Amino acid sequence: MNSGGPKTDSRWLALIVLCAGMLMIVLDQTIVNVALPAIEEDLKFGQAGLAWVVNAYLIAYGGLLLLAGRLGDLIGHKKVFLIGLGVFTVASLLCGLSLSSEMLIVSRFVQGAGVHWPRP
């Protein structure tokens, strides 16, 4: 059976990479929601602070959505995808290493900014 050629193979690879990226986003959101009680206890968050842990991500995501798409048009979608993936990964590491509530909220904001991955 014919594999479909290099163009079909690259489309499958792009689909796998995009699915892996979406899995990272969904896992991140799930982990944060499950970890909220531990975050509250370890970093001495109040209820308002916990809301910021979730909402800092959403504010950056929603606020930068159009800008990231335009940036992809200007410098290339693949490049923006790779930059976003790197930013998201580093911000995830910083979230895990956070020693204060401020560091966690800023890291979550950076995660939301890095999640804008136009299609490669």
Residue 61 pLDDT:
87
pLDDT tens-digit readout, 4-20: 666 778 888 888 888 88
Contact (CB, 8 A) for 14 and 120: yes
| Domain range annotation of the chain | 5-114
pLDDT confidence of residue 65:
84
- Mean pLDDT across 94-110: 94
CA separation for the pair 53, 1 (Å, rounded): 51
Residue 30 and residue 120 in contact, taking contact as beta carbons nearer than 8 Å: no
Phi then psi dihedrals of residue 43, to 5 deg:
-105, 10
- At 18 the pLDDT is 81
Q: How confident is the model over 50-95, as pLDDT tens digits?
A: 999 999 998 998 888 888 889 989 999 888 888 988 999 999 999 9
Residue type, 83: I
Which of the pair, 3 or 59, is modelled with greater confidence? 59
What is the model's pLDDT at position 53?
92
- Written as one letter, the residue type at 23 is L
